[in-house]
């Protein structure tokens, strides 16, 4: 057995080489696949859509916010990997009484790279994880942000409108693109905003994420009515909020957006 410290500062005792892993976070599920863990991952959530082969074949243990404890128990995991923001505290507290639970806590690129390396350590894929983290870091270092920053509002939900705010991973991605988040203030990580607050913030560009709310072209007009003349773009939210191996492709996606 080994004792590791997760990103929340918790000590976790787990086997030297876990053989029955459950992931409770979509972006970390994709990471486990790309680290080559294959059959060692026995359970995922219903939101773990990448890779598609795993989504179709792996046991599903509920959602990120509502895990099925009985399904997890039936799989007899020797390592569960979760995230502070995406999973419910009560579920994690219940699980850690019975199984080793390793938690991530990620707010920026450095935290994501640290998570990748630590997951590599926990799963016996240290070299693969280190290579991946190094490649991602170099890709972001080579990314060219806007010479002249533009202000932005990044929407994640509708009815009510919610945006990415201070201390979020999305906010860090926006900064690296050379964009200034007009809602990067206060303690609310995902504040609810009114039409009036959006109009007063007056961002130079508005981004509508494809997830968790599935914004579509029909929603662009709604925002145009509030901020006339402001460009509104629908973006692939996975490149802004998935902090695992998908980060390999994020810089290329950001550079290809018309707003950069």
Provide the number of structural domains found in the chain. 2
Domain end (from 100, 119, 140): 140
Last residue of a domain, one of 84, 107, 140: 140
Residue 87 lies in a domain: yes
Report yes or no on 105 lying in a domain.
yes
Quick check: is 174 in a domain? yes
User: Over 80: is that where the pLDDT of 64 sits?
Assistant: yes
> What residue numbers bound the domain in which 34 lies?
2-140
Q: Same domain, yes or no, for 101 and 163?
A: no
Asked if 69 and 97 sit in the same domain, the reply is yes
Residues 120, 25 share a domain = yes
- 18 and 133 housed in the same domain: yes
**Residues 107, 155 share a domain:** no
Q: Is position 8 within any domain?
A: yes
Average pLDDT over residues 231-240: 97
DSSP string for 123-181: HT-HHHHHHHHHHHHHHHHH----SS-EEEEEEEETTTTEE--TT-HHHHHHHHTTEEE
Same domain as 69, residue 104? yes
Domain boundary, last residue among 140, 164, 198: 140
Considering the domain architecture, whether residues 118 and 42 belong to the same structural domain is answered as yes
Q: What is the dihedral of CA 82, 87, 88, 94, to 10 degrees?
A: -30
Shared domain for 81 and 20, answered yes or no, is: yes
How does the average pLDDT of the chain come out, rounded?
96
For the residues 150-173, what does the mean pLDDT come to?
97
Same domain, 158 and 136: no
pLDDT digits (tens, 9 = 90+) for 90-123: 999 999 999 999 999 999 999 999 999 999 999 9
* Rounded alpha-carbon distances, angstroms, from residue 167 to 133, 140, 191: 21, 19, 12
Residues 14 and 126 in one domain: yes
Q: Is residue 124 part of a domain?
A: yes
pLDDT in tens, 123-145: 999 999 999 999 999 999 999 87
Q: What is the CATH number of the domain that holds 194?
A: 3.40.50.1980
Q: Per-residue pLDDT for 178 more than 70?
A: yes
Domain assignment present for residue 179? The answer is yes
pLDDT > 70 fraction of the chain, expressed in percent and rounded? 100
Please compute the mean of the pLDDT values over residues 195-206 and round it to a whole number.
97
Residue 258 binned pLDDT confidence (cut-offs 50, 70, 90): confident
Confidence of residue 183 (pLDDT cuts 50, 70, 90): very high
Question: Does the structure show a pLDDT above 80 at 147?
Answer: no
pLDDT of residue 260: 60
Residue 145 lies in a domain: no
Q: Is 161 part of a structural domain of the chain? A: yes
């Amino acid at each position: 057995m080994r004792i590791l410290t997760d990103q929340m500062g918790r000590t976790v005792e787990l086997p030297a080489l876990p053989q029955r892993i459950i992931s409770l976070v979509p972006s970390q599920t994709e990471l486990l696949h790309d680290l080559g863990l294959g059959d060692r991952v026995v359970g995922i959530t219903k939101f773990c859509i990448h890779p598609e082969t795993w989504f179709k074949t792996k046991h599903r243990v509920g959602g990120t916010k509502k895990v099925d404890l009985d399904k997890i128990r039936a799989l007899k995991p020797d390592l569960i990997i979760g995230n502070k923001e995406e999973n419910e505290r009560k579920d994690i507290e219940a699980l850690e009484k019975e199984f080793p639970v390793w938690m991530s806590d990620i707010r920026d690129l450095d935290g994501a790279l640290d998570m990748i390396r630590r997951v590599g350590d926990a799963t016996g894929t240290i070299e693969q994880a280190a290579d991946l983290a190094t490649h991602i870091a170099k890709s972001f270092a080579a990314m060219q942000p806007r010479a002249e920053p533009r202000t932005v509002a990044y929407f994640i939900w509708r009815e009510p409108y919610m945006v990415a705010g201070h201390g979020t991973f999305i906010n860090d991605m926006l900064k690296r693109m050379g964009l200034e988040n007009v809602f990067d203030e206060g303690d609310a990580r995902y504040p609810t905003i009114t039409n009036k607050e959006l109009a007063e913030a007056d961002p130079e560009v508005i981004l509508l994420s494809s997830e968790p709310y599935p914004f579509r072209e029909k929603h662009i007009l709604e925002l145009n009515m509030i901020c006339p003349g402001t460009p509104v773009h629908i973006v692939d939210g996975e490149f802004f909020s998935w902090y695992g191996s998908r980060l390999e492709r994020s810089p290329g996606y950001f550079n290809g957006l018309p707003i950069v």
